[in-house]
């Protein structure tokens, strides 16, 4: 009998076809949101699952699903998965790095440009029928070319963003838990800086770091106050890295020029203070949203699942100690 797996939300036909060659698949092509209770019920007789960032995998779920052997997240980030709890229950957890790097960096540049040049505000103005023609002082924005960029989180996406920023002649600083190799700094013409210096001296600050408890509200009222009132903040990371309430207050008070956001605390709910503002570009968590990239992400997760349930080490295993324990 084939292993039984669940795909928690709608996915691409080619991904489901690939999975059905290996497993008995329960899909959710109706794309109905699964409550924690329904997710536990659906997984109670499953060996594996393909999850999205909206699916919470915690101790309570794992205790209710004793057959579960692998949780394969269709995302780079995995703060929806309690990896320690998975390890304690002998469940392999995986993610999908690498495949969305370039697409997300493209989107990061787009979000910077949209926020700096007031594109969202200008389009709303035009669609409302308010545009009366060209004016010399209409929707004046900020130049990106030649500006200073501070990147917080110099991993794959941060480095890809820096390469694009060089094409705009931007001066690049970065902050990271550890300095990157000197060769990478030289290639990117990027200067390492402490967080306070980066915030104080950057025209644009872009967040590309992974979420962790230590990174929760890394950018709060105190950090926002250190930024230039002419600065733009862009969050490509995860909701919770920024204190959204503090950001809304700073934008409303003119302590920050603009923001571009793709992620939020408590998604899909957006802080109401942000919704009231014109000087913030709000996107619905779509930084990796091209069909080619989302298919690659889904197939990467599917291959992780095939390996995990087929007796092979998944290529993107987050808790290798589970695999090591199984091999002893």
- Contact in structure between 305 and 72 (CB atoms under 8 Å): yes
Which residue reads 């930024």 in tokens?
A: 227
Catalytic option among 238, 271, 294, 316: 238
- Contact in structure between 38 and 59 (CB atoms under 8 Å): no
Distance CA 210, CA 97 (A): 12
Distance CA 131, CA 121 (A): 12
Catalytic option among 125, 171, 285, 296: 285
313 half-sphere exposure, CB direction, 13 A CA radius: 13
* Both tokens assigned to 308: 């995990």
125 is catalytic: no
The residue among 125, 118, 111 whose CA lies nearest residue 283 is: 111
Residues in Cβ contact with 205 at an 8 Å cutoff, skipping those fewer than 6 apart: 149, 150, 152, 198, 199, 219, 227, 231, 232, 233, 234
177 is catalytic: no
DSSP 8-state class, residue 319? -
* Both tokens assigned to 200: 């104080």
Per the DSSP assignment, residues forming a β-bridge with 114 are none
* Both tokens assigned to 263: 């992620």
Beta strands in the chain (DSSP E): 4-7, 24-26, 48-51, 70-73, 92-94, 148-152, 171-175, 190-192, 204-207, 232-235, 258-261, 280-282
267 is catalytic: yes
Q: Which residues are catalytic?
A: 238, 267, 285
């Amino acid at each position: 009998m084939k292993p039984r797996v669940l795909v928690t939300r709608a996915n691409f036909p080619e991904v489901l076809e690939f999975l059905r060659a290996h497993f008995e698949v329960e899909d959710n092509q109706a794309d109905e949101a699964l409550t924690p209770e329904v997710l536990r019920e659906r997984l109670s007789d499953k060996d594996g699952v393909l999850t999205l960032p909206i699916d919470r995998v915690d101790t309570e779920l794992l205790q209710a699903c004793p057959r579960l052997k692998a949780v394969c997240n269709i995302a780079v980030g995995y703060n929806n998965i309690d990896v320690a709890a998975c390890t304690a229950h002998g469940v392999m957890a995986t993610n999908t790095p690498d495949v969305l790097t370039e697409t997300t960096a493209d989107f990061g540049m787009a979000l910077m440009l949209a926020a700096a040049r007031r594109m969202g505000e200008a389009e709303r103005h035009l669609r409302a029928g308010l545009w009366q023609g060209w004016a010399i002082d209409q929707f004046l924005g900020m130049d990106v070319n030649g500006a200073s960029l501070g990147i917080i989180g110099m991993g794959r996406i941060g480095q890809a963003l820096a390469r694009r920023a060089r094409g705009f002649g931007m001066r690049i600083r970065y902050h990271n838990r550890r300095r990157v190799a000197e060769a990478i700094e030289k290639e990117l013409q990027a200067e390492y800086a402490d967080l306070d210096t980066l915030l104080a001296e950057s025209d644009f600050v872009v967040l590309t770091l992974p979420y962790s408890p230590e990174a929760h509200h890394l950018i709060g009222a105190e950090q926002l106050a250190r930024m230039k009132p002419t600065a733009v903040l862009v969050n490509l990371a995860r909701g919770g890295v920024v204190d959204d309430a503090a950001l809304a207050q700073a934008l409303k008070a003119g302590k920050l020029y603009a923001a571009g956001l793709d992620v939020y605390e408590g998604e899909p709910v957006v802080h109401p203070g942000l919704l009231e503002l014109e000087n913030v570009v709000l996107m619905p968590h779509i930084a990796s949203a091209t069909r080619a990239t989302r298919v690659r992400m889904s197939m990467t997760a599917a291959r992780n699942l095939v390996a995990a349930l087929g007796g092979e080490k998944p290529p993107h295993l987050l808790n290798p100690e589970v695999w090591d324990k199984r091999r002893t």
